[in-house]
């Protein structure tokens, strides 16, 4: 699992970007996180994730907000 921080999140459109520890910012959809963590998706939250190839390029998957 990789680590990063949520840089921005658009709750209306359910997507955002993760500032990775190494590399460019990474796109994510809200559903990359477990449903019980949706309310915790906010800027500056620490996250873990994997990178998968989406339709428009790399994106986060299997994401978790760290406690």
Per-residue pLDDT 10s for the chain (67 aa) are 999 999 999 999 999 999 999 889 999 999 999 999 999 999 999 999 999 999 999 999 999 999 8
Category of 36 on φ-ψ map: left (φ > 0), alpha (ψ -120 to 50) or beta: alpha
Q: Domains of the chain by range and CATH? A: 2-65 (2.40.50.140)
pLDDT given at position 12:
98
Residue 60 near residue 15, CB atoms below 8 Å: no
At residue 61, the pLDDT reads 99
């Amino acid at each position: 699992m990789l680590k990063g921080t949520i840089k921005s999140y658009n709750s209306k459109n359910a997507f955002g970007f993760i500032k990775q520890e190494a590399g460019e910012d990474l796109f994510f959809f809200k559903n990359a996180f477990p449903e019980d963590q949706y309310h915790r998706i906010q800027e500056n939250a620490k996250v873990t994730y994997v990178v998968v190839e989406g339709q428009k390029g790399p994106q986060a998957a299997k994401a978790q907000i760290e406690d």
